[in-house]
Structure 1
Amino acid sequence: MNWELPSPFVIDIEVSAEDIDGLGHANNAVYVSWLERCAWRHSQFLGLDLVEYRRLDRAMAVVRHEIDYLASAYEGQHLQMATWIVESDQRLKMDRRFQLVRPEDGLTLLRAKTTFVCIELSSGRPKRMPAEFIEGYGKALTPPYPLEL
């Protein structure tokens, strides 16, 4: 696969009938759910699942999505979503990039960047990342690359 950055975390996606809107292609809101699914699976892979979030009373919450929809996805297609953690201040903020590709022709359907902020679950307020987040997400940090979509 021709990924735009090295060493991605990748999930497989099958476009289902429920993903299709009145225009006959995957709805843009479905793409956002795929971003979330990919980010969560990567967090789980890094050992930072909901159980750990609750134990630490911390979570990474989305504060901004930047999405470029480049091409449509259709029912029955197999897609792959990749993610990379590209920036972290190791205090409050972390950025992920995403790329959605259709393997059959290598076409990139979407590029996105999501900014997360660390919050305290019990209050919902921004709080510093615990050491477990700095270590866990830090080991997946991709070397600096241009962040333009």
Structure 2
Amino acid sequence: MELPMPQIDWDWPDPFIHEVTVEPQHIDDFQHTNNVVYLTWMAKAAWEHSKALGLDFAAYKRLNRGMVVRRHELEYLVASHAGERVLVATWITGNDGRLRLRRRFQMVNAETGKTLLRGLSDFVCIDIESGRATRMPPQFIVAYRPTARVEGD
């Protein structure tokens, strides 16, 4: 019998959610999920959201443009442990329509509804062939429009 989902207090409405399960290989010597794993989950959620918006790597190659990380910020709040399900939520909270994009993240324990982590990633648009920062194509401006409003993003 599956337990009912707890009421989750998302930071902003309508997140894109990628679900993961804490596996034994994610556990460190302190017997909780290693901090690097959370960063991996953020990257995976961002990529899954991008693909859901129609921008997979094939589209990036066709456009010779891609969004790459410039900076991450993570705030760890509560530990997670092997076997727990984690909901990794993401929102696009900033897009200057030129070079920069910001995503925010909130990770929640699916069983308890407790927030485990809040984070953000800043991205910059690059020309894939040269690796240099370049203006976003119109497809990025449209697909990566903000999904939540955060002052200053």
* TM-score w.r.t. length of structure 2: 0.92
Cα distance in 2 for partners of 1:85, 1:143 equals 6
1:113-138 CA distances to partner (integer Å, 9 max, x unpaired)? 11000001101100000011111112
2:88 is paired with a residue whose SS is strand
Which amino acid letter does the alignment assign opposite residue 68 of structure 1? E
Structure 1 residues 127 and 68, CA gap change in structure 2 (3 angstroms): same
Cα distance in 1 for partners of 2:94, 2:50 equals 15
Which amino acid letter does the alignment assign opposite residue 115 of structure 1? D
Report % sequence identity: 45
1:115-126 superposed matches below 5 A: 115-126=122-133
| Alignment: residue pair count | 146
Which amino acid letter does the alignment assign opposite residue 77 of structure 1? E
Q: Is the 8 A contact 2:66 2:128 kept in 1?
A: yes
In the TM superposition, what is the alpha-carbon distance from 1:36 to its structure 2 partner?
0.4
Match of 2:77 among 39, 48, 70: 70
Q: Is the 8 A contact 2:66 2:126 kept in 1?
A: yes
Do residues 7 (structure 1) and 19 (structure 2) align? Answer: no
In the TM superposition, what is the alpha-carbon distance from 1:103 to its structure 2 partner?
2.1
Please, which runs of 5 or more residues in structure 2 have no aligned partner?
1-7
Cα distance in 1 for partners of 2:88, 2:62 equals 29
1:87 is paired with a residue whose SS is strand
Do residues 21 (structure 1) and 28 (structure 2) align? Answer: yes
2:144 is paired with a residue whose SS is helix
Do residues 145 (structure 1) and 147 (structure 2) align? Answer: no
1:1-149 superposed matches below 5 A: 1-138=8-145, 141-146=146-151
1:114 is paired with a residue whose SS is strand
RMSD of aligned residue pairs (Cα, Å): 1.2
User: Following superposition, which runs of at least 4 residues in structure 1 exceed 6 angstroms of deviation?
Assistant: none
Structure 1 residues 33 and 47, CA gap change in structure 2 (3 angstroms): same
Cα distance in 2 for partners of 1:121, 1:20 equals 35
Q: Is the 8 A contact 2:92 2:148 kept in 1?
A: no
2:98 is paired with a residue whose SS is coil
Which amino acid letter does the alignment assign opposite residue 104 of structure 1? E
Q: Is the 8 A contact 2:12 2:148 kept in 1?
A: no
